[in-house]
Amino acid sequence: MGHLHEFEIAGERYGIPDPEIDWGDLPRSEPRIPLKTALGGLKSFTYLYDFGDHWKHRIKMEKRHQPDPILSASALCLDGANAAPPEDVGGTPRYADFLEAILDPNHREHHAMWAWCGQDFEFRPLDLSAVNESLEGLKV
């Protein structure tokens, strides 16, 4: 991930503070607080990715299991849908425009959008293995 992000849990913001960015009040240092500690007993929180495009996600913890000694202490994604949009696509509204253009060969922006994304975008189901590989080492 190449953009700033933050988590909001129970009104508290967590991120990787960058003194060159005007955050208002700096968020708490994300690497220092395990997710389990930040959540307490809460079941959901907000994740904001890319302050310019403003990708806002609500993450809901559906069930907690006792740790399995065979598995690592990393976070694990059990399910999801669709591939991630290309970086800097412009947030939710512009992503909808992007999909409309690349999925319709007759769309006036079809070729321009393919050229912009480098033709490496594939609209496909979520790759759980890739997601879980990226979560390895995340403090929980």
What is the predicted pLDDT for the residue at 1?
A: 44
| Maximum average pLDDT range among 7-11, 48-52, 76-80 | 7-11
Q: Are 55 and 48 in contact (CB under 8 A)?
A: yes
By C-alpha distance, which of 33, 2, 1 is closest to 15?
A: 33
* Phi and psi, residue 7, nearest 5°: -110, 145
**Mind listing the pLDDT tens digit for each residue in 11-46?**
999 888 777 777 678 888 888 888 778 888 888 999
At residue 81, the pLDDT reads: 78
% residues pLDDT > 90 (the chain): 20
Residues of 74-112 as b/e, b for ≥16 C-beta within 10 angstroms? eeeeeeeeeeebbeebbeeeeeeebbebbeeeeeeeeee
Nearest Cα residue to 3 out of 60, 55, 46:
55
pTM above 0.85, yes or no: no
Q: How far is CA 106 from the centre of its chain?
A: 31
Query: If we measure between CA atoms, which residue out of 138, 120, 118 comes closest to residue 59?
Result: 138
Express as a percent the part of the chain with pLDDT over 70: 86
Q: How far is residue 96 from each of residues 89, 90, 100, measured CA to CA in Å?
A: 10, 10, 6
Q: How confident is the model at residue 100 (pLDDT cuts 50, 70, 90)?
A: very high
pLDDT of 90 > 80? The answer is yes
